Chain A
Amino acid sequence: MKRILKNALAPVVIAGLALSLGGCASDPSPSAAEGPLTVWVMGDSGANFESLVAPFVTETGQEIEVVAIPWDSIDEKLTTSVASGAGPDVLQIGLSKLRSFADAGALLPLDDLLGDYPGLAPANFPSGVSGDATSVNGEVVSVPWVSDTRVLFTRTDILAANGIDAPPTTWDELRADAKTLTSRGSGQYGYYIPQWDAPLPIEMTWSLGGDVIDSDGNVDFDTPEFQDAVDMYTGLYADGSVPTNGDFDQTQGFISGVAPMLVSGPYLGKAITDGAPELDGKWQASLLPAGTSSTSLFAGSNLGVWANTDQQDASLELLEYLAEPETQLEWYSLSGELPTVSAALGDEDLNSDPNVAVYTEQLASSKVLPLVSNWDSSVGTELLNALNAIALTGADRDDTLAGFFAKTEGLGID
């Protein structure tokens, strides 16, 4: 539950208190290695996670307290817990937040510890997942947990009924198909753009052959490929192919067929399977539409150990358990989030599902967002504000983009 802070001074009060208490918060108490391990999982999958770790609890006798943090209050939770020194023992970290968490000193550097835990060795994971995607400034601060990539979901039955034989493979095709599907009638759309999905324009830029980081490691959106991505994004709105209300429900929109195409992660597949089993065989996942390549987002989550934890060993044992291929496969069936361990990713049963085959193929050509501090809340927010202003309120395209370039200029990875 979000904390409602009435007082405008509250951020500052906490900061001020943290300053004065900093001294006492940082010395870990030598004893008290007992008690439950607190684990923060992101999103609403707390109950699933509890059943996932139940065998571990039975086997080791180590109690585990699972706290589910809603995705949109992670920043607040991080700030308050770092400031108060009262964090969990183990926590899930979305890749786009890794840098902020590490900068805050919230994560325990793991370089010297991983040697004792063979299950967590980088060699167990695909190289794109384990290397830079787990470390900040050359220090390993996390281990891979789940893979998330973005693919195109389509309602094949609706597409076929409108004369479209196969899901679009390029963005231009997608735009044309979306237009066709929108012409089904009033209140019907062809495609859905979540107004909060900051990575989407970046996936578009990548798949159109561009990048958002220049050769010096600085954020740079002023490229022809990004301009093309902007035209695609705003063009879909200009065609009337996308619902303009911010409270549109993507799962409901897909199941009801109001918006029969969208880009999302494997968990959407899980939500459709669970929520609308009658649609079985009437929808499918396919690779992200391409311009020059079909490069998608790798937005996995990692697990880290809280810097001030007094239960280091127990925490790492839990991470080791969670990195076992069987645990990761179990997690996929519980939550629809793909494994990261190579052994689990290559599992035959898993890959017998054609949609999973698409996910794993897409994972092979996915990239992580640049590890810039505050990526989500600064660059991501500015990006969405600029694009939505053009698309929703008809703001001048070039002026808005110029303002956006100016705001993000000079941000770098270092």
Chain B
Amino acid sequence: MKGAILRNRLSPYLFVSPAMLLLVTFGVFPIFVALAVSFTNMNISAFANIRNVKFVGVDNYVTLFGDADFWQALANTGIFALVGVPAIVVLSLAVALLLNRSDHPFFRALRSFYFIPAITAIVAISLIWGYLYNTQFGFLNYLLSLVGVEQVQWLSDPVLAKFSVALVAVWRGTGLNIIIFLAALQGVPKDYLEAASLDGAGEWRKTFSITVPLLRFAIFFVTVTTIISWGQFFDEPFVLTDGGPLGATTSVSIFLYKEGFRMNQFGYASAGSIVLFAIIAIITVFQLRARKADDEY
């Protein structure tokens, strides 16, 4: 009898343990490794001889906060998030609302159409967009030349490059979020909408007074995950511009990648990754706190 009780108590832990083990190994443990490494001067010579690693205290953090490139990367990431998060949330919500209006096969085909960017390899995407954006031979400049517009330097102009890169990321990021919104739209009770129709509410009124408020949790979820992904923004600028021109598209992740993998300054890159982790954690916690409890429906 005693064994059975023990087994019942233990079984939930047994079920979650594989997931927990993975989480701890690949999610939590590296953060502590990074924290430890961030207090050292570790670089590539440590591979030749481990004695080349020295404890340097908070030196890396002091250097980091005095590094103009890091501030530029932080500012870029901020700009990307400010432009990208509202763009993705509004755009995917709008598309989801439109797609949800009908179950016609055409609309179902459209759903997969919007989802394609989310599952296409980033390298393929960057190749295509790289050609579209190319200053001399690009399709976009060809179209513009038809109406007499001079060559636009989509990826070479420091200001424009930010938006060109962000545009690709928005285009790529909406697909998944549209699917999330569509799923949430299935959960909006039909009787609320019918009751509103009986009361004489129009389409706009129903959308903004019933559907959107009931999507609150989905909007919150999409916003939080989108903010986090823009905080770690990496793929698009990495393959399209490699952080250039002149660091205009260098996000914090790209800055860390370059410091770690190109300059081989692992201690310094770790300090940066801890700072990025802290920023994202603070923003996320703040959002969770600010959220009001969901109304039941």
Q: When the two chains form their complex, are residues A5 and B257 in contact, meaning their CB atoms are under 8 A apart?
A: yes
Q: A15-B37, A195-B245, A245-B135 are in contact. Are A393 and B158 (CB under 8 A)?
A: yes
Segment from B41-49, B167-175, B286-294 that makes contact with A? B41-49
A18 partner residues in chain B, CB cutoff 8 A: 47
Q: Chain A interface: which of B5-13, B192-200, B219-227, B269-277? A: B269-277
Contact across chains for B47 and A82 when beta carbons are under 8 A apart: yes
- Residues of B near A78 (CB, < 8 A) are 44
Contact with A along B13-51 (1 / 0, CB 8 A): 000000000000010001101101100001011111110
Q: B264 to A83, Cβ gap below 8 A?
A: no
For A82, give its contact among B42, B44, B50, B235 (CB under 8 Å). Answer: B44
Given contacts A1-B123, A4-B123, contact A100 B44 (CB under 8 A): yes
Q: Which of B77-132 contact A (CB under 8 A)?
A: 122-123, 130
What 1/0 flags go to B220-242 for Cβ under 8 Å of A?
A: 00000000000010110011011
Query: Which of the residues B26, B48, B247 comes within 8 Å of A104, measured between beta carbons?
Result: B48
Q: Which residue of A lies closest to B231 (CB)?
A: A8
Known contacts A2-B239, A12-B34, A393-B158; is-contact A7 B135 (Cβ 8 Å): no
- What sequence of 0s and 1s flags, for each residue 86-130 of chain A, a beta carbon within 8 Å of any chain B beta carbon? 000000000000001001111000000000000000000000000
- Contact, CB under 8 Å: A100 / B264: yes
Q: Decide: A246 and B156 in contact? CB cutoff 8 A.
A: yes
Q: Indicate if the CB atoms of A104 and B273 lie closer than 8 Å.
A: no
A104–B31 alpha-carbon span in the complex (Å)? 24
Chain A residue at minimum C-beta to C-beta distance from B255: A8
* A83/B47 contact (C-beta < 8 A), A4-B239, A11-B269, A388-B245 known: yes
Residue pair B232, A6 in contact (C-beta under 8 Å): yes
Give the most central of A15, A82, A83, A393: most B CB within 10 Å: A15
Closest to A256 in B: B136
Residues of A within 8 A of B232 (CB): 6-8
Which residue on chain A has the smallest CB distance to residue B264? A79
Partner of B50 from A1, A22, A76 at Cβ < 8 Å: A22
Interfacial chain A residues near B147, Cβ < 8 Å: none
Cβ of B258 to closest chain A Cβ, rounded Å: 7
| B residues in contact with A8, CB < 8 Å | 232, 234, 252-253, 256-257, 273, 276-277
> Does chain B have a CB within 8 A of A374?
yes
CB pair B34–A249 under 8 Å, yes or no, is: no
Q: Which of A9, A252, A378, A389 contacts B30 (CB 8 A)?
A: A9
Q: Is the CB of B136 within 8 A of A76?
A: no
Interface size bucket, B side? 35 or more
- Residues of A contacting B42 with CB < 8 Å? 15
Interface: B61 (CB within 8 A): no
A255 to B243, CA, bound (A): 29
Are B156 and A12 touching (Cβ within 8 A)? no
Judge if A244 is at the interface, Cβ distance under 8 Å: yes
CA distance A335 to B235 in the complex (A): 32
A22 & B153 in contact (Cβ 8 Å cutoff)? no
Chain A positions within 8 Å of B134 at CB level: 247
Q: From the candidates B46, B153, B263, B269, name the one contacting A377 in the complex (CB within 8 A).
A: B263
* A374→B253 contact, CB < 8 A: no
Please report which residues of chain A, range 373-405, place their CB below 8 angstroms from some CB of chain B when the two chains form the complex: 374, 377-378, 385, 388-389, 392-393
> B246 touching A392 by the CB < 8 A rule?
yes
A71 CB within 8 Å of chain B: no
A12 near B48 (CB under 8 angstroms)? no
A75, B45: Cβ atoms under 8 Å? no
CB 8 Å contact bits of B155-168 with A (1 = contact, 0 = none)? 11010000000000
List A contacts of B36 (CB < 8 A). Answer: 16
**Contact across chains for A385 and B246 when beta carbons are under 8 A apart:** yes
Residues from chain A with Cβ under 8 Å of B252 in the complex: 8
Q: How far is the CA of A388 from the CA of B235 in the complex (A)?
A: 24
Is B262 an interface residue when CB atoms closer than 8 A count as contact? yes
A6 (CB) vs chain B CBs: closest residue: B234
B234→A5 contact, CB < 8 A? yes
A246 touches B244 (CB 8 A): yes
Q: Which of the residues B34, B50, B156 comes within 8 Å of A9, measured between beta carbons?
A: B34
Residue A19 at the chain B interface, CB threshold 8 Å: yes
> Which residue on B lies nearest to A101, using beta carbons?
B44
Chain B residues with CB under 8 Å of A57's CB are: none
Is A248 within 8 A of B269, CB to CB? no
* A246-B244, A389-B246 given; A11·B136 CB < 8 A: no
A4-B235, A8-B252 are contacts. A246–B34 as well, Cβ < 8 Å?
no
Partner of B49, one of A16, A80, A105, A106: A105
Q: A72 near B: Cβ within 8 Å?
A: yes
Contact status of A12 and B269, CB under 8 A, knowing A104-B45, A249-B136: yes
B276 touches A79 (CB 8 A): no
A106→B44 CA distance, assembly (Å)? 10
B181 proximal to A (CB < 8 A): no
Complex Cα–Cα for A379 and B234 (A): 24
Shortest CB-to-CB span from B51 to chain A, Å, is 12
Residue A276 CB within 8 A of the other chain: no
A12, B270: Cβ atoms under 8 Å? yes
Q: Which 5 A-B pairs have the closest CB atoms?
A: A105-B48, A11-B260, A16-B33, A245-B135, A12-B34
Chosen A-B contacts, 14 in total, with CB atoms closer than 8 Å, are A2-B239, A4-B122, A4-B123, A8-B256, A9-B34, A19-B50, A76-B262, A82-B44, A246-B156, A247-B135, A377-B262, A385-B247, A388-B245, A393-B158
- Interface contacts beyond A16-B37, A82-B44: sample of 13 additional A-B pairs, CB < 8 Å, sorted by A: A9-B273, A11-B270, A15-B46, A15-B270, A16-B34, A78-B44, A79-B44, A187-B151, A195-B245, A245-B136, A248-B135, A392-B158, A392-B246
